[in-house]
A and B are shown apart, each in its own frame.
Chain A
Amino acid sequence: DVKVTQSSRYLVKRTGEKVFLECVQDMDHENMFWYRQDPGLGLRLIYFSYDVKMKEKGDIPEGYSVSREKKERFSLILESASTNQTSMYLCASSSTGRGFGAFFGQGTRLTVV
């Protein structure tokens, strides 16, 4: 069974803090993703990584950065958290082969106060 594990289920941070969200997968997947999930807006891609140290901006990268130093770990960084970054954050991983789909973590609900 593929496991995608996010380090925290719930997180509360103050405005202006630097926030790290961590994600680890155990299936040697090449691709990893960070999405935010908001009611009525669906899943919006923040960043995508297709290999170690490689990344591509998604639809809403502003205010975020990512780090992928090891294949199994993909970190999302909020350099200076703001209240409009309060959301559910989902990490996913997938194989490069066609047709396999992505596997998701349980999500981190981040509240910025």
Chain B
Amino acid sequence: AQRVTQPEKLLSVFKGAPVELKCNYSYSGSPELFWYVQYSRQRLQLLLRHISRESIKGFTADLNKGETSFHLKKPFAQEEDSAMYYCALNNAGNMLTFGGGTRLMVKP
């Protein structure tokens, strides 16, 4: 069975501080990992895909198969980054499983 774990329910940082939102997964096959973000009163939207190795809004995430992790990082947090962040895993059969989510609060 596949599982995604986000150990922190809430992460609070000051503006300009570095941010790391943790995500660990368990899956026996070749995983496909994503980060999704939900801003207040908006629908859930895709932020990052591990397969593209891109940087979006200053966020990056690297898949570490040895540690089975896909942590989301940003060197300098902005107030507009405050949102709910979800890590998700897509299995070979295209079933998408989410973690419990981390609420990021960036204080001025």
Question: What is the size category of the interface that chain B forms with chain A?
Answer: 20 to 34
Chain A-chain B contacts (Cβ-Cβ < 8 Å), number: 61
Q: Which of A41, A98, A103 contacts B32 (CB 8 A)?
A: A98
Cβ A45 vs Cβ B51 within 8 A: no
Which of B12-20, B66-74, B91-99 lies at the binding interface?
Answer: B91-99
Cβ B94 vs Cβ A104 within 8 A: no
Q: How far is the CB of A54 from chain B (nearest CB, A)?
A: 11
Does B25 interact with chain A (Cβ within 8 Å)? no
Does A35 interact with chain B (Cβ within 8 Å)? yes
Cβ B43 vs Cβ A104 within 8 A: yes
Q: Which of B6, B52, B90, B95 contacts A42 (CB 8 A)?
A: B6
Contacts of A100 in B (CB 8 A): 49
